[in-house]
Structure 1
Amino acid sequence: MAVVMGRDALEAFLAQEFPQVAADFAVEELREDALVMRLKVAERHLRPGGTVSGPTMFALADVAIYLAILSRIGPVALAVTTNCSIDFMRKPEAGRDLLAEVRLLKLGRVLAVGDVLIRSEGSPDPVARAGLTYAIPPR
């Protein structure tokens, strides 16, 4: 499915619909087959020991796949997560933003399924992998 919402439109949508978190994220890249999103890591995202918290990484995966879906179907604010499985594989590198690369595996009329790999900026090794399913409301 072709891209119908570009990078600027996705970021504007996020700012309008989710202003409480929009400043934490940036769409780095949008391609026909993937979306790459940045989490601008700040002190509030850290857990004891100075690493990015699990809930913060979940938020990155969730927002990234949400915007990947919207990039294909347009601004549907009520699309929601129905399932998520996340594996935390290694500690994110201190002082670096996180990048999430989304690949949509299925985009149907009612459900979307995708994978997200999260890496510390500059590192090839993933820190987490998530599989998410989203419900798309009827139009």
Structure 2
Amino acid sequence: MAEQSNLKPMLTAAEVNALMESVYPQLNNQFTFYEAIDVFPGGCTVRLNAGERHLRPGGTVSGSSLFTLADIGGYVCVLSHAGPDALSVTTNLNINFVRKAEAGPIDGHCRILKLGKSLMVFDIDIVAGPDGHTVAHATGTYSIPPRKSFQSQA
């Protein structure tokens, strides 16, 4: 499925990070575990700075940490392309884990497959390690709240 080619972001990565910090402070607390690295027409790059707290026994980054990165990728895309409405929510997210991820930077390359008025469909390739191998791939859908319209009453 090809992504839409007419998409233009409304927010930069720095603006999305600031918005997430204000509306979703519990994501990172005072640290920067999950962050938007880049926003571009039709997608974004997000990063998990995976440390000790993200590891399960055996030194593998937990599936829930990678799942969160996939979800954050979708959230960054919807915030940056559909507008800064923090009430956009995940309606579906499917993930396939491909190989082990170790502590360190893990990047998610996210693209919008379809952006409509009420839904955004995306996919994300999660890569890690010095060779940038895919460690997981996910597809998801975000629900976009209806825009508020103000009508004058006579």
TM-score, normalised relative to structure 2:
0.85
Pairs aligned (count): 138
- Which residue of the other structure, out of 10, 13, 31, is the alignment partner of 2:19? 13
Contact 2:61–2:103, Cα closer than 8 Å, also in 1: no
Tell me how far apart the structure 2 counterparts of residues 9 and 29 of structure 1 sit (CA, whole Å): 11
User: Per the alignment, in what secondary structure is the counterpart of residue 123 of structure 1?
Assistant: coil
Shift of 1:80: 0.6
1:88 pairs with one of 97, 105, 108 = 97
Identity of aligned residues (%): 39
| 1:26 Cα offset (Å) | 2.1
Matches for 1:1-139 after TM superposition, within 5 Å? 1-22=7-28, 23-92=32-101, 94-139=102-147
**Cα separation, partners in 2 of 1:27 and 1:19, compared to 1, 3 Å:** same
Verify the 8 A CA contact 1:99 1:121 in the aligned structure 2.
no
- Please report the RMSD computed on the Cα atoms of aligned residues, expressed in angstroms: 1.2
C-alpha distance after superposition, 1:105-135 (max 9, x if no partner): 0000011100011011432320000000111
Quote the Cα distance in structure 2 between the aligned partners of 1:132 and 1:123.
Answer: 26
Contact 2:12 2:38 in 1 (8 A): no
Structure 1 stretches of 5 or more lacking a match? none
Greater C-alpha Rg: 2
- Offset at residue 30 of structure 1 (A): 1.7
Q: Given residue 57 of structure 1, which amino acid in structure 2 is its aligned partner?
A: L
Runs of 4+ in structure 1 off by over 6 angstroms are none
Using the TM superposition, name which of 96-105 and 15-24 deviates more.
15-24
Gaps in structure 2 of 5+ consecutive residues: 1-6, 148-154
TM-score, normalization: structure 1? Answer: 0.94
